[in-house]
Amino acid sequence: MQPDFSIRLEKRGEASAFFSVFSPLIALVLMLFVGGVLFAIMGHNPLNALYIYFVEPLTDTWSLHELAIKAAPLILIATGLSLCFRSGNWNIGAEGQFIIGGIAGATLPVFFPQYTSFSILPLMIIFGVLGGMAWAFIPAYLKNRFGTNEILTSLMLVYVAELLLDWIVRGPYRNPQGFNFPGSVSFSEWQILPEMLASGRAHYGFLFAILGVIIVWFMLSKTMKGFEIQVIGQAPRAGRFAGFSPKRTTLFVFLLSGAFAGLAGIAEVSGAIQQLRPSISPGYGFTAIIVAFLGRLNPLGIFAAGLVLALSYLGGEAVQISLNMTDKIASVFQGLLLFFVLGCDTLIHHKISFGRSWFFVGKDVSHGSV
Amino acid sequence: MKLSAENTDQPDMLRVSKLTKYYGDFAANQDIDFNIKPGEIHALLGENGAGKSTLVKILYGSLQPTSGDIFWNEKAVETPTPSNARKLGIGMVFQHFSLFEALSVSENIALSLSSEHTIEEITQRATRLSKRYGLPLNPDALVGDLSVGERQRVEIVRCLMQNPDLIILDEPTSVLTPQEAESLFETLDILKKEGRSILFISHRLEEVRRLCDRATILRFGKVIATCEPAAETAASIARMMVGSDVNLVEKEITKSDNQVLLKVSSLSQSAATPFSIPLKDINLSVRAGEILGVAGIAGNGQSELFDAISGETSAIKAENIEIRSKRVGKLSINERRQMGAAFIPEERLGHGAVSDFTLSDNMLLARHQSDAVAFKKLGKIGMIWRDMVDKATKRVCDVMDVRKAEVNPRSTSLSGGNLQKFIIGRELDRQPSILVINQPTWGVDAGAASYIRQAVVNLAKSGSAVLIISQDLDEIFELSDKIAVMFDGHLSQAHDAQSITREEIGLLMAGVENSENKNAA
C-alpha cells in the first residue's frame, strides 16, 4: 500500500452552535494576536502598536467622523454584495461599480459647472446609481446569456473602470484651470453632499448606508423577493420548483448591488473628495467583500463589520504617522481578518484528518488487501 | 424450516452483544443482540428510523458504538474504519452507488483497490468473478452507459474482489425489475452455498420471506424479534415492524367516462445534459377520479417527464401538455398550479424542500403563488404574511400527523417519512384537481407509506386526476387504475391494472417490446 500523507477536510456531523455564533469574534482575536506578533517582529511594542491602531482612533471626535466616512461605503457596498452572495452570484467587481458610479455622478458638475440649484445633487446621485447598475449589468448579462463566470468578468471590469477613471481625469474630465494636474474641477457648494452634523466632516453617505441596511434587512426577512434570493442560493432546483427564475435573480442582485456600489461611489466623490481624482477608492469594493462575510451576509452584522474594517483603514493611517510604518499594514490586517473569518467558518463545519502515514512514519504500513 | 440442526450448532460468524449507540440523548441502537451463522442469509428489518442504518454502519466500521461488543468468529473485534472491516472479511454494497460515470467498469473497481494491481489483472479477476457468480459485466464499458441493474453488479463484483465472508446488502432490489431481482437472488444463492453469509436489508417482505433464513426486526433502536420469515406472513412481519396493524389501502374502481383532466400528447424532447434521457413521443391521459401509475426503473426518463409536466422545463409546443383541455406546454409551474395542478418531486431535500429552511418557509416555497392572496400582502412589495403561512403549516402537520420535535423545525431535522408527509400534505391541503407525484413513498417507512397512499387514493376518490411515477411495483399495483411503463424515454400504452400481470410489466420495464399490444386497455 502506498504511504498516505494526505490531509483532508471532512465534514463535521453537527457544527457547534457556540462557535458558529462567535466565529467572527474568534477571527478578530486571532487577527489581533497575529498582528501583535507582526508588530513585535518589526520592532515595536505590540500592545502599544495595537493601541495606536485600534483604540486611539476611537478617542476623538475628528477620527470618529473619519470612521463614519470610511464605514459608509463599506457598509453600503457590502449590504448589496450580501444579496449577491446569498443568491450564489459572486460579484467581485463592486470596486469597478463604485468607480463608475463616481464617474457617472461627477459628469454633471464637470460638464455643467454653472448648473447650481437644489436639483443638481439628487440628479448626481441618480446618475451615480445608474452608473453602478450599468457596470454591474455587464457581468449579469454575460452570465445569463453565455454562461460566463461572473467572478472573472466582474473582476476584470474593475481594471477597466480603474483605467477609464485614470484616463478621463487626464483627458475629457480634466480641470482646464488645473495646471495639467490630473483631476476634475472641485465641486461647488450645491454639488457637495452636505455634512450630517456640525461637529465634523461625516456626510450623508453614512445615512445612505443605514437606509441600505434597513432596506435589505427588510427585504431579506420580510418579503418574497428576499425569500426567493435565499432559495436560489441554497437550492437552485427547489428554486425552479417554486417557479423562481435564477436568471432574473442574477440580474436583480447584480443591478441592486451595482446600484448600492454606485451610490457609495458618488457619495464618496461628492461628499468626501469633492472632485474626481485618478484614484477615488482605497479598495472599498474589495474590502466590502470582507465586510460582507465578517457580517455573516446579514445586514445588521455587516453594519458592525463595516465599522471594524473602517477602523482598520484609520488605524493603518495612525501607525503610519506614529510608528513610521508602511500604509500596506491596513491591507495586511484586512487580509488576516478575511483569512481567519473564512478559516474559522471552514473549521467549524469541517475537521482536518491526516492520512495514516503521518502517525506511522518509518513503520511498515503495507498490508495486502485484494 | 430452512435451518438444519447442524447449522444451528455451528459457531457464529458474527455476533454482537449489547451494542448501543447514542446520539446525544437519543438511542439509535440500544442493547442490540444478534448473530449471523456461516452460510446464512439474514434479513434486517425495520421501519425507517428503526436503527438499521446505524447498526450496519457500526458493523462496517463507519460508525463507532457507544458501548457493546462485536465478535467475529467468536473473537472480540473492533472496526474503527471500513478498511478494518474489509480486512476482517465484511463487505458492503450500498443502496446509493458510488461509481464514476465517466470511468469504465474495471477503472471503477481499480479505484477501490490498492495500487499494486494492474488494470489488466483487475479486469481478469473481475471477469472471472462475474462469470462464477452469474453477474454478466463488460469490464470495458463506461459506467455512465450502464443500467441501474448493471451498476449494482459492478458494486457487487467490487465487493467480491475483497473476498468477503459477510456481505451486507442495503436495499439491493429497490432499483431492480422483478427479473433482475430474480437473477440477483440466484447470485446470492451461489454465495450462500460457498459458506458466505449475507445480511440483507429490504422493505419488501415477500422477497425476505422467500430468500432469508432468519430475520432480525428492529423497532425504535431495539431488537423486537428474531424470526424465520418463511414461517410468518408478510402481514405478521409488518405488524412486528410497525408495532400495530398496517392498514391496507382501500380503493374503488372508477368509471372510465369522466373528463380528462391531464393530457400529454406527442411529447418529445432532446436530452438537456449528457446524463439525462431524451423523451420520445410520450402520450398519456388521466381522467377525473383516476390514478395512472407509471412504472419503470429509475433513470428511464421519469424525472424528465415529471419536469415537463410540472413546467420546470417548458415543453417544446404548447399543445404537448393540456390541463383541463387548455394548452399549458409553455406556461410556468406556478401558472399550472393556479389551474389546479400540484406537483411532488422525487427528491425531498433540495427539490421539494430546502434543507436549511423551516417547514413554514417550505410551505411558502410551493404555494407562494397559488395562495398569494393568503400568504402575501402589500401588493408589489410582496411582504410575507407569516401568520397565515404558519397557520397553513400547522394545519398540514396536524392533518398529516407530521411528527416533529419543535413547532417549526428545519426540514433536515425531520425523518424522510415525516418530511414526505409534510410535502404531500402541503399539496393535498390545496385540494388540487390534478396531482403528479414522482416516487411517493421512496425511502419512507411502512407506516408513513400506507398513510400517504391512502391520502392519495382519497384525493382521487374525491374526483381529482392523479399521476403516480414509481419504481415500486407493489405500490403501482396497490394504487393504480391504469399502468403504463417507462423505458428509455418511451412510455408504453396504459394497461388496465386489473388485467396486466407483474411479469408483463417486468418485460416492459426491461424494454421487451413484443408484449406491448397484447394487453392494451
* B368 vs B244: CA distance, rounded Å: 38
**Under 8 Å between Cβ of A310 and A320:** no
CB contact under 8 A, B383 and A1: no
| Phi, psi dihedrals of residue B261, rounded to the nearest 5° | -95, -35
Cβ-Cβ contacts under 8 Å, B86 against chain A = 369
> Across A67-71, A353-357, B124-128, B451-455, which has the greatest mean pLDDT?
A67-71
Taking the CA atoms of B28, B34, B38 and B43 in sequence, report the sign of the dihedral they define. negative
pLDDT in tens, B392-442: 999 999 988 888 878 888 888 887 788 999 999 999 998 999 999 998 887
pLDDT tens string A357-366: 666 554 444 4
The set of cell numbers assigned to A265 is: 461611489
Residue pLDDT, tens place only, A102-114: 999 999 999 988 8
Domain that holds residue A62: 23-41+48-343
In a domain, A202, yes or no: yes
Average pLDDT of A192-207?
87
End-to-end Cα separation, chain A, in angstroms:
11
Average of per-residue pLDDT across B311-322: 82
For residue range A26-53, what is the model confidence (pLDDT) as tens digits? 888 999 999 999 999 988 899 999 999 8
Asked if A170 has any chain B CB less than 8 Å from its own CB, the reply is: no
pLDDT of residue B209: 87
Closest-approach residue (CA) in chain B for A234:
B354
pLDDT at B516 exceeding the cut of 50 = no
pLDDT of residue B519: 44
- Of the candidates B383, B387, B298, B396, the one whose C-alpha atom is nearest the C-alpha of residue B342 is B396
pLDDT above 50 for B511: yes
Residue A358: inside a domain: no
Least Cα distance to B77 among B95, B52, B96, B60 occurs for B60
CA separation (Å) from B486 to A320, B134, B324, B489, B505? 73, 27, 24, 7, 10
User: Could you tell me which residue, B137 or B516, shows the higher pLDDT?
Assistant: B137
- The number of beta carbons lying within 10 Å of the beta carbon of residue B33 is 14
Question: For position A2, what pLDDT does the model report?
Answer: 56
Q: Please report the pLDDT score of residue B315 as a whole number.
A: 62
Distance from CA of A87 to the nearest CA of B (A): 14
Residue A307 falls within a domain, yes or no? yes
How many C-beta atoms lie closer than 10 Å to residue B400's C-beta?
22
Asked if B382's CB is within 8 angstroms of A225's CB, the reply is yes
Residue B248 clears pLDDT 70, i.e. is over it:
no
Q: Which residues of A316-335 are buried (b: 16+ CB within 10 A; e: fewer)?
A: bbbbeeebebeeebbbbbbe
Instruction: Answer yes or no: do A237 and B350 touch at CB < 8 A.
Output: yes
Q: Which stretch, A164-173, B120-129, B315-324, has highest mean pLDDT?
A: A164-173
pLDDT at A60 over 70: yes
pLDDT bin (cut points 50, 70, 90) of residue B150 is confident
Chain A residues within an 8 Å CB radius of B87: 367, 369
Tell me whether residue A269 is in a domain. Answer: yes
Mean pLDDT for all residues in chain B: 84
Q: Distance (Å, rounded) from C-alpha A164 to C-alpha A281?
A: 14
B 345-384 near A (Cβ less than 8 A): 345, 347, 349-357, 361, 364-366, 368-369, 376, 381-384
Residue B247, pLDDT above cutoff 80: no
| Cell triple for B502 | 407483474
pLDDT in the model for residue A139: 97
- A241-288 residue pLDDT tens: 999 999 999 999 999 999 999 999 999 999 999 999 999 998 999 999
CATH of the domain at A336: 1.10.3470
Please tell me which of the candidates A223, A238, A367 has its beta carbon nearest to residue B365. A238
Q: Give residue A291's pLDDT.
A: 92
Distance from CA of B336 to the nearest CA of A (A): 10
Of the ranges A6-20, B85-99, B504-518, which is most confident? B85-99
- What is the pLDDT confidence band of residue A100, given thresholds at 50, 70 and 90? very high
C-beta separation of A131 from A104 below 8 A = yes
pLDDT at A217: 95
Q: Is the pLDDT of residue B518 over 50?
A: no
Long-range contacts: A148-155, Cβ < 8 Å, 24+? A150/A89, A150/A90, A150/A91, A150/A250, A150/A254, A151/A90, A151/A92, A153/A93, A154/A90, A154/A91, A154/A92, A154/A93, A154/A96, A155/A92, A155/A93
CB-closest option in A222, A241, A370 to B114: A370
Residues B143, B105 contacting (CB under 8 angstroms): yes
pLDDT band at A197 (very low <50, low <70, confident <90, very high): confident
Q: Which domains are seen in chain B, by residue range?
A: 5-242 (3.40.50.300), 260-351+431-515 (3.40.50.300)
Residue range B331-339: average pLDDT? 91
> A116 falls in which pLDDT band (50, 70, 90)?
confident
What is the rounded CA–CA span in Å between residue B219 and residue B54?
Answer: 12
Single out the residue of B324, B405, B399, B314 nearest to residue B363, CA to CA. Answer: B399
Check if B113 contacts A (Cβ < 8 Å). yes
Q: Is residue A300 part of a domain?
A: yes
Is A353's Cβ below 8 Å from some Cβ in B? no
* Domain membership flag for residue A12: no
The three cell numbers of residue B283 are 402520450
CB burial string B426-450: b at 16+ within 10 A, e below: bbbbbebbbbbbbbbbbbbbbbbbb
pLDDT of residue B6: 44
- Of the candidates B115, B162, B369, the beta carbon closest to that of A243 is on B369
pLDDT value, residue A366: 43
On the question of pLDDT at B329 being above 80, the answer is yes
What torsion, rounded to 10 degrees, do the Cα atoms A318, A320, A322, A325 define?
Answer: 140
Q: Point out the residue among A237, A367, A370 whose CB comes nearest to the CB of B161.
A: A370
- Give the cell for residue B263: 393530457
The answer for B439, left when phi > 0, alpha when psi is -120 to 50, beta otherwise, is left
Number of structural domains found in chain A:
1
The 3-state DSSP class for residue A337 equals: helix
pLDDT tens sequence across A329-346: 888 888 898 899 888 888
Over range A75-87, report the average pLDDT: 96
Tell whether A132 is covered by a domain: yes
Is residue B465 within 8 Å of B433, Cβ to Cβ?
yes
Whole-complex ipTM: 0.78
The answer to whether residue A13 is domain-embedded is: no
Query: Rounded to two decimals, what is the model's pTM?
Result: 0.75
* Residues B188-235: tens digit of each pLDDT: 898 899 889 999 988 777 888 888 999 999 888 889 888 898 888 877
Give the pLDDT confidence of A220-254 residue by residue, as tens digits.
999 999 999 999 999 989 999 999 999 999 999 99
Mean residue pLDDT across chain A: 89
